[in-house]
Amino acid sequence: MSSFSFDYCFLVEVTASNLKEDKLYLPVGATSSNALNKQCQEMILVNKEGNSWTVSLRFSESGGMYYIRSGWRIFCLDNRCDIGDLIVFNLVGDGKTSPLMCVCPKRKECSELLSKHLSRKSGHIASGSASSSLCFTGCTAV
């Protein structure tokens, strides 16, 4: 039986550039997750309702990180995400099948990650309080 990794949770900010380029770089820490391998060419994004979007996954040898090549923009559009919205994802997979990037449900770990991020950016995010809680409310369908 395959061993799935569920333990890599990270924060993503919707930006004008990642929407325009339809490209989202995953954090460097994702490279050590058992959910990913360099041969994998696709990933599945899953919102809290269980709806899914298949996206292209690539690994940048020069940058040493994974990135979503296409599909990010449509995920954001379908889920009504705005620039500045924050989403907490959990990376799930076994390194053999297509990994999942699931929107993190309202859990203590997600709240802590979001709070840590917001405390570092308190001056910048303070004016955008509606988008600062995206993990739970910002994108209406996520």
Q: How far is CA 104 from its chain centroid?
A: 9
pLDDT digits (tens, 9 = 90+) for 10-43: 889 999 999 999 999 999 888 888 888 888 899 9
Q: Which residue has the higher pLDDT, 142 or 26?
A: 26
Residue 131 pLDDT > 90, yes or no?
A: no
pLDDT value for 41: 92
User: What CA dihedral angle connects 48, 137, 126 and 21, to 10 degrees?
Assistant: 50
Note if the pTM is more than 0.85. Answer: no
Give the H or E element holding residue 119: helix 108-120
**Main-chain phi, psi angles of 132, to 5 degrees:** -70, -15
In this structure, the number of other CB atoms found within 10 A of the CB of residue 49 comes to 10
pLDDT value for 141: 35
In this structure, the number of other CB atoms found within 10 A of the CB of residue 85 comes to 24
pLDDT digits (tens, 9 = 90+) for 54-90: 999 999 999 999 999 899 999 999 999 999 999 989 8
Pairing mode, if any, of strands 42-46 and 100-103? parallel
> Is the CA virtual torsion 45, 119, 18, 96 positive or negative?
negative
Question: How far apart are the C-alpha atoms of 111 and 96, rounded to whole Å?
Answer: 30
